[in-house]
C-alpha cells in the first residue's frame, strides 16, 4: 500500500483539502456560533435553518447544483472547487459543535473581562477562546474527517487530481489493486472512528469542565 505513488498522491490531495476545509469551516462556524449565541439577531431561527440546509439536502442534488453554478461562472474544476463544496457541507457540523460549546459556559466571564478594561478582541482571545478550545479542536477533527471521507461532491467537482475516495472507487475495477484498496479502506475506517470518538469525547469534556456549576 505504501509503495503506490498514485495512491499516496490521492491521499495527499485528501489531506490538503481536509486541512483547509477544517480550518475554514471552524473559523466560519466559530464566528457564526458566537454571533448566534451572544447577540439577539433578527430572524435567528431562519438564519440557522438556512445554514443547516446542506445537512438535509441529498448530496447528489447539492453536487449537481454546485456543478451547474460553477460551470455558469466559468470556474475550472479542481481541488479548490472540491474544498469549496466540502466547506458548505462542513460548516453546519462545525456550528452544531460550537453552538453547544458556546452555550455551555457563563457569559458573566466575558462581562467581567469587559468591565476590567479589556476590549472585545482581547476578551475573546484571553477568556472566550480558552473556554471554547475543546469545541474548536472537536470541530477541526470532525470537519476534517467529513471532508476526508466525502465522495459524492468530490466525484462531481474534481478534475484530474483525485481525492482518496475517488481513487478507491476507481481502483475497484482492477482486481490487482483490491488488496491495497482494502487495506487502505480498513485503515481509514479505524482512524476515522478514533478521530470522531476523540472529537466527541473532547467536546463533552469541554462542556463539563466549562459548566458554571462545575458538574
The full set of domain ranges for the chain reads: 5-209
Instruction: State the pTM of this model.
Output: 0.80
CB 180 within 8 A of CB 1: yes
- For the record, the C-alpha cell of 126 comes out as 484571553
**Separation CA 114–CA 123 (nearest Å):** 7
Q: How confident is the model at residue 155 (pLDDT cuts 50, 70, 90)?
A: very high
CB 200 within 8 A of CB 138: yes
Which CATH number, 1.10.3720.10, 2.30.30.280, 3.40.1190.20, 1.10.1060.10, labels domain 5-209? 1.10.3720.10
% of the chain beyond a pLDDT of 70: 87
Amino acid at each position: 500500500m505504501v509503495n503506490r505513488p498514485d495512491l499516496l498522491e490521492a491521499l495527499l490531495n485528501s489531506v490538503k483539502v481536509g486541512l483547509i476545509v477544517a480550518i475554514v469551516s471552524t473559523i466560519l462556524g466559530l464566528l457564526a456560533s458566537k454571533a448566534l449565541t451572544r447577540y439577539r439577531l433578527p430572524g435567528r431561527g431562519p438564519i440557522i435553518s438556512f445554514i443547516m440546509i446542506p445537512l438535509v439536502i441529498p448530496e447528489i442534488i447539492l453536487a449537481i447544483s454546485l456543478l451547474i453554478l460553477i460551470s455558469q461562472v466559468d470556474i475550472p474544476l479542481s481541488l479548490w472547487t472540491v474544498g469549496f463544496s466540502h466547506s458548505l457541507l462542513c460548516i453546519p457540523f462545525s456550528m452544531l459543535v460550537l453552538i453547544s460549546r458556546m452555550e455551555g459556559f457563563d457569559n458573566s466571564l466575558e462581562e467581567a473581562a469587559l468591565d476590567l478594561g479589556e476590549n472585545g478582541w482581547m476578551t475573546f482571545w484571553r477568556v472566550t477562546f480558552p473556554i471554547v478550545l475543546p469545541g474548536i479542536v472537536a470541530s477541526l477533527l470532525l470537519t476534517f474527517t467529513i471532508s476526508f471521507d466525502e465522495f459524492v461532491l468530490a466525484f462531481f467537482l474534481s478534475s484530474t487530481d483525485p481525492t482518496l475516495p475517488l481513487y478507491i472507487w476507481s481502483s475497484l475495477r482492477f482486481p490487482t489493486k483490491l488488496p491495497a484498496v482494502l487495506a487502505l479502506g480498513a485503515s481509514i475506517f479505524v482512524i476515522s472512528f478514533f478521530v470522531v470518538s476523540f472529537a466527541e469525547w473532547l467536546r463533552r469534556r469541554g462542556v463539563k469542565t466549562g459548566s458554571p456549576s462545575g458538574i
